Amino acid sequence: MHNWSLYNPTRVEFSPDGLDRIGDGIGYQRVGVITTPGFTRRGVVARLKRALGDRLAIVCDTVQPNPDIDAIDATAKLLEPAAPECLIGLGGGSSLDTAKALARILTQPEGTTLSGHFREGLPFEDERALPVITVPTTAGTGAEVTPFATIWDFREQKKHSLAGDDLFPVKAVLDPTLTLRLPESLTVSSGLDAISHAFESIWNKNASPVSIGLATQSLAISLKTLLELKNNPHLLEARAAMMSASLLAGIAISQTRTALAHSVSYPLTLKFGLPHGIACSFTLPELLKYNAETDDGRLKRLALCLGHDDTLGLADAVNNLLRSLDIAGFLVAYGLTEEQALALTHEMFTPGRADNNLRPASVDDVHAIVRDAFKYL
């Protein structure tokens, strides 16, 4: 038995017309929207403008995948004259993480930048962020309910994380209709991110009965729903189910953080542009088998809850799902070979991630896990 605590202050509102009602109950008079150019082109930002009325102070629709330090610093300069009291992050994980990072920067003294913080080691004067409302348009990142933001520095070839209770969104508006037009590739990669979060919060040293329960329910939904969505992308009920699975896994990792699968993924995204959900999921079956060797009973119970006799049966089921989703095709499309991945194993240890893993791992262990993951795809 170990001590644990639970804290997640984000209010969640789940509704198929949530975007159009987002203005209800918002007391802020100057709201900034952080999103991508695509949501402006498709008219989603216009809907948000109608919902907010004259409370909308500024729209920054410049977010790109895997938000970069320099791009976020440039966006902060655009936002400063508008003096927003609250930010709305609209989009996938990149938009939500960008909104959180901007919320932290905009409360600091003039001249504070992410580049100064991460490249020069300059501290934030106050870990106090603007309120953030998240509106996810993918089902996978869980960023709508976590106090983390992943930031990339492509100039220095590094990945960074911002974290703190001030980064918990004040509200998450989950509208599954916003995911109906997701392309297949993004449906698959974001869905696999949710599955990765759920597994990683279970084989985690920081797990609690609550986080394990949330993650188990998330997997019960996502492992059967993701393939259904690939084949029938316009099923609103399935989209809603996958969004619920992502939410549950997001709450779980807000308590535990992630572990070795995510640590393995970072250099693959940084150097090859491999989508995050693909990069952190292709090793899941091998990591399940690896952690099962020192299982304290939690993985056996997980397998039974999900309808399998043992962890090996669950690992086989996850492998079959990855094959059905053609994960090998993603790796080929991004030019990642087994040899290239194995050459990066020494970079696959991220402090605060790899050391959360239930079973400690060495470089040789990671090498074997990645090698076997390629073998069975």
In terms of domains, do 237 and 368 share one?
yes
Domain boundary among 177, 211, 244: 177
In the prediction, which pLDDT does 68 show?
95
In terms of domains, do 98 and 208 share one?
no
CA angle 284, 63, 147 (to 5 degrees): 55
**How far is the C-alpha of 251 from the C-alpha of 231, rounded, in Å?**
28
Which of 23-29's residues contact partners 24+ apart within 8 Å by CB, and which partners? 23/51, 23/52, 23/53, 23/55, 26/52, 26/55, 26/86, 26/133, 28/55, 28/84, 28/85, 28/86, 28/131, 29/55, 29/85
In the prediction, which pLDDT does 1 show?
61
Structural domain contains residue 285: yes
> For position 143, which CATH number holds?
3.40.50.1970
Which residue positions in the chain have pLDDT lower than 50? none
**How far is the C-alpha of 133 from the C-alpha of 325, rounded, in Å?**
32
Smallest Cα–Cα separation from 189: which of 141, 233, 224? 141
**How far is the C-alpha of 121 from the C-alpha of 114, rounded, in Å?**
10
* pTM for the whole structure: 0.96
In the prediction, which pLDDT does 42 show?
95
* Tally of domains within the chain: 2
Smallest Cα–Cα separation from 189: which of 93, 76, 258? 93
Domain that holds residue 85: 11-177
CB distance 72 to 102 below 8 Å: yes
Structural domain contains residue 6: no
Give the sign of the dihedral formed by CA 342, CA 343, CA 344, CA 347: positive
pLDDT digit string, tens, across residues 40-57: 999 999 999 999 999 999
In terms of domains, do 151 and 209 share one?
no
In the prediction, which pLDDT does 352 show?
82
In the prediction, which pLDDT does 2 show?
79
